Structure 1
Amino acid sequence: MSRPIDYGEFEEGRNVNYWELDRAIQRELRRIYADDEFAWAKPRLSEFGAVVGHTIADNADYVDDHGPELESYDKHGDVQNRVRYPAELLESEQLAYERGIVADAFEAPPGRDEPMPLAHNLAMQYLLSYADPGFDCPVAMTAGAALVLEKFDDGSLEEYYEALTSRDYEGLIEGAMFLTEKQGGSDVGAAETLAEYDEEADCWRLTGEKWFCSNIDAEGTLALARTPDAPEGTDGLSMFLVPHADPDHSEGPWTKGDRLEDGSLSPDEANDQFYRRLKDKLGTISVPTGEVEFDGAKAYLVGEEERGFKQMTEMLNLERLSNAAASCGIMGRALLESKIHAANREAFGETIDQYPLMREDLVDMTVDHEAATAYVFEVARLFSERERAERGAEPRSAESTSGGTASAGEDADDVYRLMRLLIPIAKLRTARMAVDTASYAMEVQGGNGYVNDFVTNRLLRDAQVLPIWEGTENVLSLDVLRALEREDAHEPLREAVEERLESVTHPALEDAAETVESEFRDLETALVTLAGEDAEYAQLSAKRLAHYVFDVFTAALLLEEAQTKLEDDEDGRLALIANRFVTNELENREARGITSGDRFPLESFDAVVRHEPVDSESLLERREAV
């Protein structure tokens, strides 16, 4: 069993190794990776956790005050579309990309014969978001653009794919996704950007306006546009790659090396688009987000005409999971800052982590973080399995996984349908949890937490965009309904929950398992009820339904993991996490728990917050005493 962590040894949550201090992500990756994958990844994730905890964390604070600046025109008044980046951000980019944050999931990294699962990209994004969720946005879109080209390009854009997945920083390009238009917002089908084929130039040309464009100067930008005579709505949209540089004035993509060596594009080298301005945002300052006018910009068709929206949803799946991984990373950093401060801050003669109310807060913040991380990386496992199957690789059997969570009965169709339901819920729930956790971490710091000199100020500002990026909570809730209606996603959900609950046999988990079983039956009743109601009532209930699915699925997942830990390591700590999650999210507590005599946060503080091991015998003694 591992030693507990003494957070009083640290001054603050920087100049530390985020991987080594985050046992939740260690546990989840050991569970979902094959043994050889985890053995390869562990030292590299530890190194990355140290780099993020030292250099990138410091750079992120500087960039927050000195972010990218847009220089739309040169000194002669000609359009150049230059974004000037601080050197600290460029250093962070090089540190992340050259450690394979994108490349390892697409091309076999050194020391391996095949790529890592896409979950590995999400794990590195998770760690990166401890320091800079804003920079994680370009990383996520670079991976997303690479995935789209891998799936749908006919080979004509191979140079762009290779540059998106480059391990050499100078040969790298970043990706972007331009969806939003001023008149449409979340209604992507209202897009008016027009794409017309230019026979003489042998390329498509885009004309129109995109309103919220993150990573505005990416060379690997994917945009949706409507070709002449295409139908209205999303069915008429096609996908295009729109380079930052005019492809006729450069040999291949305009890479990071070109930018570092030559500086900005000359007016003749700029593609026919205009970067109007950067948005003056609340947070995520490190990613330049702005407005773009296409004025006959040269572009390349990706895949088939009028299939653009369906192709873009493949990128959206990864982007939403990236959003969720970033949410968990922010929660992890906010929790770490809170634990360290509480272990060091003295008030009335004691450190504040000795007081019951703070103990309860830190316990429940820890439970939330570990629950969110377990859910997100279980969905990442499903996503990785689906992509592995599409690439033609042999799916892993249940026996080949460390935690045994891959069901031998999972087939590609079940994996897709379950993933299709769980991904929007992952983004929906964890984004809200990140905002709440960051907000309370600011409160733990007191007045300092509200001041820009302390990182909790930025964590809250950065977290606040997460419920908005890649679809608001309402939009995602409606997507959950579509997954249930069109994919019959309730069927693999039922199988997944039942299989996990059947594995739970330890006496210390019995009561919680019974609660989850009962709530799951109520959830099934809710699903049947909504199936028989009109669309208006179903939409009215969609958000509550999405949260209900998260609570039940996560509870079953945590109970299964707790059972495994008890069997394999005789460690009951995760059983405490699972039981507390069920109590908080699924139990109806009389008098709001005040009359229950429950002293869980006081009795379990060291185990939950400091990761002190709990043997099975003492776990049973706690149960009998309740």
Structure 2
Amino acid sequence: MAATTHTVTNQAPPLVGYDVFTSDRALVEGVERHLDPSLLEATREELSALGRTAGSAQAQEWGVLANENPPVLHTHDRYGNRIDEVSFHPSWHRLLSKAVGAGLTAAWSRPGGHVRRAAGFLVWTQTEGGHGCPVSMTHAAVPALRADPALAAEWEPRLTSTVYDEGLRPAAQKAGVLFGMGMTEKQGGSDVRANTTRARALAEDGTYELVGHKWFCSAPMSDGFLVLAQATEGLTCFLVPRVLDDGSRNVFGIQRLKDKLGNKSNASSEVEFDGTWARRVGDEGRGVRTIIEMVAATRLDCVIGSAALMRQAVAQAVHHATYREAFGGKLVDKPLMRNVLADLAVESEAATTLALRLAAAYDDGSERERAFLRLAVPAAKYWVTKRCTPLAGEALECLGGNGYVEESGMPRLLREAPLNSIWEGSGNVQALDVLRALQREPQALAAFLEEVGAARGADHRLDGAIKDLLTELADLNGVEARARRLVERMALVLQGSLLVRYAPAEVADVFCASRLGGDWGAAFGTLPQSLNLGAVVERAAVGL
């Protein structure tokens, strides 16, 4: 075919070669807001370096290759010996090495570590979401292990190391380790008290033998796992090392890898325990209480991970519309497209602002902030992760047919989006957890209301939403049937309060007019035309 018939015009250039951190104004402002001034300069440099790598062609290629070459299970070696190993493409290891090296598993050992780490996780997982799973679990294992000071002293330095040391060897011989978790069983799902895996005490104090299965065990190449099993006194938390101190493999039978909708680069497996050696973490019968801190931390990562997906989807959509021309002008200048982009941008900024506020509460660590997190984390996990999928779909549509082809990267974002709403408890589980806190922990509600009340009087629509929420909270009879609606309102009021206090006026105005004021349709792109939508879109744009 003659080359003259295939001249390429009116296509947006690739969104590559940019700083993912500094181009995200909401993220930069959040870091500046929540970090001690003495930490800001060094943190900006760290995050900008990570952002430049995340926006590079090389890192984007790593993400593509990790998904195009999913992990492979090898149950036996050539002689028939059981080995239960999973091999990964080199790009997976490069992504993980960069994540660990950037301190994304080291939040617990640094001042302002959770805000730094949340921002870094939000930046780096825009390259590829799947490898964020072992990073998240390794980070979240630390507070659970602290239930046993001796175990924490042994394992925490390895978990918070900035060295990615791949390969199955005794943990004591490694410069850094990764952790996974195993809670879910096929007969129980989120109802972990229905677990049937049994733990039999061995002669050595604190050691047990496990027999049972886990229906979902992600990142089975990790060095250790926190699992739940039934001991004499009830459901108990255990540490299962992948390789024992003498170099022998622990019994860890990987039956198969899951064929998932998305998250293709990450190995999610079904595993069997049959005489598997384990160490107890915490007291017998207190397994849920022991592991709950890990669950809370990974739930926050679901919020951060969804915020990352949203930001990347919005960045791609605005970038495309900035360059693409249709009907006599740039798409970004068309009133209807500008409405869609502004709506997406506000949703993304609300998610980012909330994620960093929760991370800052972890850094604070006060009793008030812990009480605030008790309600805010499940409410945020419920709402932000739910908003991610429709946002990714709408952003894909902004690219039209170009967005529907795999080369654009948008289908990968769309397939990844539902994961965080399912992982660590789906929507109903989060809603019920919020109800449990409301009914049992009055200090949590007090802290939550104090937080949202900090913006009272600044916007009449927010004030009205707070008043309506208080009315709903005053009557908890039959609340389970309307729990989703209640939790949605809690999350929206919290986001609105944060944006009114911290975001530019045009962003807060759009949010309050639509999410709280009722002038909003079911689809993105139905914002009132009286708002300053152009400024909102410009704020979300990536400057190359």
Scaled by the length of structure 1, what TM-score is found? Answer: 0.79
Amino acid at match of 2:156: Y
Alignment of 1:63-212 (within 5 A): 63-103=66-106, 105-108=107-110, 115-149=111-145, 151-156=146-151, 158-170=153-165, 171-199=175-203, 203-212=207-216
* Cα pair distance change 1:169/1:597, threshold 3 Å: closer
Secondary structure, in 3 states, of the residue corresponding to 2:22? Answer: helix
Q: Does 1:249 align with 2:257?
A: no
Q: CA deviation at 1:499?
A: 2.4
Single out whichever of 173-182 and 443-452 deviates more from structure 2: 443-452
Q: 2:169 is matched with which residue?
A: none
Counting only pairs closer than 5 Å after superposition, residues 243-322 of structure 1 correspond to structure 2 as: 243-245=241-243, 247-250=244-247, 269-322=248-301
Cα deviations by residue, 1:555-578 (Å, 9 ceiling, x for unpaired): 12211114xxxxxxxxxxx10100
Amino acid at match of 2:379: I
Amino acid at match of 2:178: E
CA displacement 1:30-64 (0-9 Å, x = unmatched): 11111112222110000011112223322011111
2:42 to 40, 43, 55: 40
Given that residues 126 and 325 in structure 1 are in contact (C-alpha distance below 8 angstroms), is that contact kept between their aligned partners in structure 2?
A: yes
Distance (Å, rounded) in 2 between the aligned partners of 1:295 and 1:413: 42
What is the CA-CA distance between 1:466 and the residue it aligns to? 1.4
Distance 2:514 2:235 in 1: 44
TM-superposed deviation, 1:66: 0.1
Q: 1:525 to 1:208 in 2, by over 3 A?
A: same
Q: Deviations over 1:212-251 (max 9, x none)?
A: 11112211210011113x2xxxxx2111111111x1423x
Q: Residues 56, 492 of structure 1: CA spacing in aligned structure 2 closer, same or farther, 3 A cutoff?
A: same
2:4 maps to none
**Aligned mates of 1:319, 1:557 — CA distance in 2:** 22
- Contact kept in structure 2, 1:516 and 1:582, CA below 8 Å: yes
Residue 597 to residue 165, structure 1, CA distance change in 2 (3 Å):
closer
Matches within 5 A, 1:360-509: 360-386=339-365, 412-488=366-442, 489-501=444-456, 504=458
Q: Partner letter of residue 45 of structure 2?
A: P
1:575 is matched with which residue? Answer: 505
How far apart are the structure 1 equivalents of 2:71 and 2:404? 24
Cα-to-partner distance string for 1:465-511 (whole Å, 9 max, x where unaligned): 11100110111001110111111132222222222225x3xxxxxxx
Residues 1:556 and 2:510 are matched in the alignment: no
Q: Deviations over 1:360-409 (max 9, x none)?
A: 001111111111111221122112212xxxxxxxxxxxxxxxxxxxxxxx
Q: Distance in 2 between matches of 1:217 and 1:69?
A: 11
Structure 1 counterpart of 2:427, one-letter code: E
Residue pair 1:428, 1:473 contacting (<8 A) in 2 also: yes
- CA, structure 1 residues 591+317, in 2 after alignment: closer, same or farther (shift >3 Å)? closer
Q: Distance in 1 between matches of 2:379 and 2:540?
A: 31
1:279 Cα deviation after fit: 0.3
CA distance in 1 between counterparts of 2:540 and 2:186 reads 52
Aligned to 2:465: 519
How far 1:348 sits from its partner (Å)? 2.7
Q: Paired residue for 1:394?
A: none
Please give the secondary structure, in 1, of the residue aligned with 2:295.
helix
Identity %: 32
Aligned-partner Cα distance in 2 for 1:328–1:210: 29
- Structure 1's 156 and 577: CA in aligned 2 closer, same or farther, altered over 3 A? closer
Distance 1:597 1:273, change over 3 A: closer
The residue type paired with residue 284 of structure 1 is N
In the alignment, is the contact (CA less than 8 A) between 2:25 and 2:540 conserved in 1? no
**CA distance change for structure 1 residues 147 and 445 in 2, over 3 Å: closer, same or farther?**
same
Q: What residue in structure 1 maps to residue 7 of structure 2?
A: none
RMSD between superposed Cα atoms in Å = 2.3
Distance in 2 between the 1:590 and 1:322 partners?
29
What is the alpha-carbon distance in structure 1 between the residues aligned to residue 276 and residue 288 of structure 2?
20
- The answer as to whether partners of 1:145 and 1:220 remain within 8 angstroms in 2 is no
Note if contact 1:73-1:80 (Cα within 8 Å) is conserved in structure 2.
Answer: yes
- Matched position secondary structure for 1:325: helix
Which residue number corresponds to residue 258 of structure 1?
none
| Unaligned stretches of 5+ residues in structure 2 | 1-9, 166-174
The AA in structure 2 aligned to 1:169 is Y
CA distance in 1, matches of 2:540, 2:241: 52
Mapping for residues 323-342 of structure 1, pairs under 5 Å: 323-342=302-321
* Residue among 212, 219, 223 paired with 2:227: 223
State the 1:523 CA deviation: 0.8
**Alignment partners' CA distance in 2, 1:26 and 1:193:** 45
Partner residue of 2:65? 62
Aligned in 2, Cα 1:528/1:157: closer, same or farther, shift over 3 Å?
closer
> How far apart, CA to CA, are the structure 1 residues paired with 2:29 and 2:208?
48
Corresponding residue to 1:538 among 459, 479, 483: 479
Whether the 8 Å contact between 1:101 and 1:121 is mirrored in structure 2 is yes
